[in-house]
Structure 1
Amino acid sequence: MYFCGDCKKQFQGGRRIDSTTLWQSYLTEKRTVKELSVMHKCSERTIRRKLKLVAESFNPSFPKEATVIIDTTYFSRTFGVMLFQDATSGKILYRKFVKNETNKEYLSGLEDIKDGGTKIVAVVCDGHTGLL
């Protein structure tokens, strides 16, 4: 913390971590929390807090119809993110943090997409049967 003697305000010094860039590194580059903490020279707790801020600010979009690609990416044995993506636009329609992927979780996500007003044309998934 820095204190200005003239205006009597406090300022934080150091580099700021952009939460959106951090989220992209976490998801697309499949970096672990530990790797990100070393890269940004901060604690793992700070990285988790920044990721949580971005994850909570997610706003899904619902097109009229979509071919949905679904998959789960794991970052540890008990933590993964289940993503439902529109094949045409590439936008994320739904996401959920899970401990393990089950058909029940997939069906729940598909129902949420349907409730949003999207007609599901097809579902692309890696080996799960009985989804539609």
Structure 2
Amino acid sequence: MERNQSGKYCVRLRVYYPRHAWTLNVYFLAGSFDRSMKKLEEALDFLQRQEEKLWFWGVDRADDMGFSAEFLKEAGMKLDRRMDFPKRATSVTLAPEREVPASVLGPMRRGLAEAVDLVRAAAAGD
């Protein structure tokens, strides 16, 4: 999670699906930290439930990436075509097709809040 130049929170996700051994990079923007956490929970839920469709249109039908982009757009996400990924990323492992447990979201929320505060503090010190 990082703040962009317009002050929005940019949440980037790198999702690894072991069933098909493929990776999907997506991101979304949110106006506040609380909204970004709510959208993160929704995004994780969507990405878990739609694994088969995303894989089919993203890998099997890679020539039709427009559909994948539209499918993600309906869920408020976009394909992330950037190759680099932050080294200090929060990592979480979830069971396929299951709800995201609150026990996972709590520590993740605290970790992301601390990371955003550290970046803010560093920027204020410049």
Structure number with larger C-alpha Rg = 1
Structure richer in helix, relative to its length:
2
TM-score above 0.5, yes or no = no
Q: Relative CO higher for 1 or 2, CA cutoff 8 Å, sep ≥ 6?
A: 2
TM-score category of the 2 structures, normalised to the smaller one: under 0.3
